[in-house]
C-alpha cells in the first residue's frame, strides 16, 4: 500500500495522521548495504571471552576449603559451629511457660510459720512465706481480706489471691473473735478467750494456706491475724495501721448469731475505709454447684400401684 493510500485509509477511520511514522527516502537501501558481509569483515579474528568473577560472590568462596579431618582444627570450635548452623525459633510465650515450669518446685510454703502473740493475749499473728525464689521484686502491694469463715468471705479470699495478687505481694487475712456481743455463743462453746483465739487462728491459717497453695504465685507473704474485740473497731484500727493497697470482703457474712463478723461490715467498710474497698459477691452458678442434690426415696411397689390407680380413677371421673 502506498503512502498516499495509507493516509487516505487512516483519515477514513478517523485516526490522527501524526501517529504515522514519516518515511525517509533511501533509508531501506542504506540498511541493506550495512548488513552485507564483506571480505574484510571475515578476516577479523573471533573475540576471546575471558571469565570474570561474579560481583555478588565473596572472594572467600573461591578459596579452597580445607579438609575437615585436618589435625589443626579446633574440635570445640567445630562443635559450636555445627550446633549454630540451625537455631530453632522459640515462641516467647512458650519460653515464659518453660521458665514458670522450672520454678514450680518453689510453689511451697517455707515451714515452719512464724507465730506472734500479743502481751494482752487478744491477738495472734501467723506469718507464712510462699513460693520463695529470692528474686528482686518491685514495691510490694498489700491487701487485707476480712474473713468470718462464711462461704462469701472464703470466696472473696480466693478472688483476691487469684485476681488481684501478683508475685511479691503481701496478704493480710483478718478474723475477729467477738465475745462481747455473743455471750450466749461463748457459754455454749465453753472455751476460754485464749483457747478460742487459738482455734480460730489455726482454722484461719489452714484455710488461707489451702487456697494460696492452688495459686501460681511467688514470693508471697501471708499474714493471718486473729483478734478479739468488736469487728468494726478492729477493722478500722487495722486499716489505719497497715500500709494497704485494697481491702476485700464478702457481700454477706454468717449473721449476727453464728458469725464472727456481725452487722453490715461491707457497708461499714465502703463508707469508712481510707483505702479502696472491693465487695465481692459470689456468682449464682457457684452457689448452685455447691448445693447438694437430695434424692427422693423410691416408693414401695404397693404404694406406687395405689398412687397410679388413684390417678386413673380421678382421670375417669373428670371425663
pLDDT single digits (tens) 89-117: 666 655 555 555 566 777 888 888 999 99
Count of residues making up the chain: 319
Taking CA atoms, 171 is separated from 75, 157, 223, 242, 245, in Å, by 55, 10, 6, 11, 10
pLDDT single digits (tens) 77-90: 888 877 777 666 66
Cis peptide before 112 (omega within 30 of 0): yes
Residue 189 domain-assigned (yes or no)? yes
Residue 280 domain-assigned (yes or no)? yes
Say how far residue 301 (Cα) sits from the centre of its chain: 57
Lowest mean pLDDT among 12-26, 165-179, 238-252: 12-26
- Model pLDDT, residue 157: 95
Mean pLDDT of the chain: 77
| Contacts by 281-286, CB closer than 8 A, 24 or more apart | 281/152, 281/250, 281/251, 282/151, 282/152, 282/155, 282/250, 282/251, 286/155
Mean pLDDT to the nearest integer, 213-218: 89
- Model pLDDT, residue 55: 74
H/E element, 144: strand 142-146
Residue 142 clears pLDDT 90, i.e. is over it: yes
CATH code for the domain in which residue 198 is found: 3.40.50.620
Instruction: Report how many domains make up the chain.
Output: 1
Mean pLDDT to the nearest integer, 1-13: 55
Q: What are phi and psi of 144, to 5 degrees?
A: -120, 125
| Contacts by 81-86, CB closer than 8 A, 24 or more apart | none
Residue 123 clears pLDDT 90, i.e. is over it: yes
Here the cell at position 89 is 525459633
The residue among 137 and 170 whose pLDDT is bigger is 170
- Model pLDDT, residue 301: 44
Residue 302 clears pLDDT 50, i.e. is over it: no
The residue among 63 and 129 whose pLDDT is bigger is 129
- pTM equals 0.57
SS3 of the chain: helix, strand, coil, percent, to 5: 45, 15, 45
Residue 318 clears pLDDT 80, i.e. is over it: no
Residue 163 domain-assigned (yes or no)? yes
Give the integer Cα–Cα distance in Å for 132 and 219: 5
- Model pLDDT, residue 132: 87
Residue 260: name the closest of 171, 199, 190, 172 by CA: 199
- Model pLDDT, residue 89: 65
Residue 245: name the closest of 130, 157, 162, 164 by CA: 164
Question: What band does 248 get if pLDDT is binned at 50, 70 and 90?
Answer: very high
- Model pLDDT, residue 81: 79
The residue among 314 and 259 whose pLDDT is bigger is 314
The residue among 142 and 312 whose pLDDT is bigger is 142
Residue 174 clears pLDDT 90, i.e. is over it: yes
Residue that the C-alpha cell 504465685 belongs to:
217
Q: How many helices (H) and strands (E) does the chain have?
A: 13, 7
- Model pLDDT, residue 287: 58
Residue 123: name the closest of 226, 26, 244, 30 by CA: 226
Residue 23 domain-assigned (yes or no)? no
Lowest mean pLDDT among 161-165, 199-203, 204-208, 305-309: 305-309
Question: What band does 299 get if pLDDT is binned at 50, 70 and 90?
Answer: very low
Residue 180 domain-assigned (yes or no)? yes
- Model pLDDT, residue 314: 57
Domain of 122, in residue numbers? 104-289
Report whether 263 contacts 132 (CB < 8 A).
no
What's the sign of the alpha-carbon dihedral 84, 87, 92, 96? negative
Residue 86 domain-assigned (yes or no)? no
Lowest mean pLDDT among 90-104, 212-226, 266-280, 290-304: 290-304
Residue 306 domain-assigned (yes or no)? no
Residue 240 clears pLDDT 90, i.e. is over it: yes
Residue 19 clears pLDDT 50, i.e. is over it: no
Question: What band does 133 get if pLDDT is binned at 50, 70 and 90?
Answer: confident
Residue 301 domain-assigned (yes or no)? no
Give the integer Cα–Cα distance in Å for 81 and 231: 70
- Model pLDDT, residue 257: 38
Amino acid at each position: 500500500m502506498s503512502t498516499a493510500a495509507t493516509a487516505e485509509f487512516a483519515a477514513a477511520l478517523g485516526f490522527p495522521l501524526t501517529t504515522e511514522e514519516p518515511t525517509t527516502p533511501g533509508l531501506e537501501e542504506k540498511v541493506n548495504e550495512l548488513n552485507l558481509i564483506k571480505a574484510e569483515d571475515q578476516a577479523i579474528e573471533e573475540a576471546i571471552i575471558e571469565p570474570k568473577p561474579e560481583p555478588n560472590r565473596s572472594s572467600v568462596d573461591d578459596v579452597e576449603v580445607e579438609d575437615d579431618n585436618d589435625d589443626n582444627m579446633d574440635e570445640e570450635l567445630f562443635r559450636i559451629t555445627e550446633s549454630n548452623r540451625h537455631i530453632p525459633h522459640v515462641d516467647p510465650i512458650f519460653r515464659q511457660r518453660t521458665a514458670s515450669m522450672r520454678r514450680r518446685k518453689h510453689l511451697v510454703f517455707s515451714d515452719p510459720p512464724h507465730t506472734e502473740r500479743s502481751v494482752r493475749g487478744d491477738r495472734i499473728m501467723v506469718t507464712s512465706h510462699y513460693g520463695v525464689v529470692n528474686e528482686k521484686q518491685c514495691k510490694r502491694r498489700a491487701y487485707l481480706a476480712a474473713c468470718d469463715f462464711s462461704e462469701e468471705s472464703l470466696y472473696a479470699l480466693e478472688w483476691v489471691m487469684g485476681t488481684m495478687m501478683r508475685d511479691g505481694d503481701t496478704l493480710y487475712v483478718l478474723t475477729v473473735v467477738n465475745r462481747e456481743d455473743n455471750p450466749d455463743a461463748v457459754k455454749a462453746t465453753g472455751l476460754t478467750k485464749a483457747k478460742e483465739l487459738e482455734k480460730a487462728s489455726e482454722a484461719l491459717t489452714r484455710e488461707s494456706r489451702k487456697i494460696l497453695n492452688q495459686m501460681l504465685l511467688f514470693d508471697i507473704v501471708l499474714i493471718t491475724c486473729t483478734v478479739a474485740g468488736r469487728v468494726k473497731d478492729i477493722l478500722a484500727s487495722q486499716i489505719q495501721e497497715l500500709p494497704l493497697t485494697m481491702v476485700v470482703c464478702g457481700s454477706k457474712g454468717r449473721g449476727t448469731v453464728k458469725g464472727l463478723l456481725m452487722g453490715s461490715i461491707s457497708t461499714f467498710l465502703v463508707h469508712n475505709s481510707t483505702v479502696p474497698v472491693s465487695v465481692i459477691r459470689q456468682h449464682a452458678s457457684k452457689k448452685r454447684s455447691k448445693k447438694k442434690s437430695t434424692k427422693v426415696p423410691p416408693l414401695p411397689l404397693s404404694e406406687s400401684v395405689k398412687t397410679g390407680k388413684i390417678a386413673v380413677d380421678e382421670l375417669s371421673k373428670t371425663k
